[in-house]
Amino acid sequence: DIVVTQSPNSLAVSLGERATINCWSSQSVLYSGDKKNYFAWFQQKPGQPPKLLISWASTRESGVPDRFSGSGSGTDFTLTINSLQAEDVAVYYCQQYYSAPYIFGQGTKVEI
């Protein structure tokens, strides 16, 4: 199994400041066949289902503000939220979808 470790568990950031969340996978999720990293980031607000923010480690989904960015390759990945807004308060999860079981990170609670 490819295990995903996420840090920190929680993060308090001032409005307008930057939030950074890190994830590591126990094996590379970079597939040599298509040169893609099978790694995603989700946002979950209270009482709501998860929402896909970023796929393939760095591709923002349609409608996701450009203050959200994903980076990294292989086993090390980062989600950066620039200029944090009040509506960004949520739990953020990373996930590898390279191979089953498609394990999620433990989650990072982002607060103001």
Partner 1 sequence: EVQLVEFGGGLVQPGESLRLSCAVSGITFRNTYGMHWVRQAPGKGLEWVAFKTISGDKIYYADSVRGRFTISTDNARNSVFLQMNSLRAEDTAVYYCARDRGGSLMDVWGKGTTVTVSS
Chain-centroid distance of CA 7 in Å reads 11
Contact pick of 105, 110, 111, 112 for partner 1 (by CB under 8 A): 105
Q: Which of 77, 78, 76, 79 is nearest to 68 (CA)?
A: 79
Least distance in angstroms from the C-beta of 86 to partner 1: 23
Least distance in angstroms from the C-beta of 44 to partner 1: 8
Stretch 1-60 residues interacting with partner 1 (CB under 8 A): 36, 38, 40, 42, 44, 48-52, 55
How many residues touch partner 1 (CB under 8 A)? Answer: 24
Neighbouring residues of 30: CB distance < 8 A, sequence distance ≥ 6 = 36, 37, 38, 73, 74
Please say whether the beta carbons of 40 and 95 come within 8 A: yes
Q: Which is nearer to partner 1, 24 or 97 (CB)?
A: 97
In angstroms, the CA 74 to CA 83 distance is: 27
46 cis-preceded (ω within 30 degrees of 0): no
Least distance in angstroms from the C-beta of 54 to partner 1: 11
Q: Which is nearer to partner 1, 70 or 105 (CB)?
A: 105
Task: Tell me which residues touch partner 1 (CB under 8 A).
Answer: 36, 38, 40, 42, 44, 48-52, 55, 61, 93, 95, 97-98, 100-107
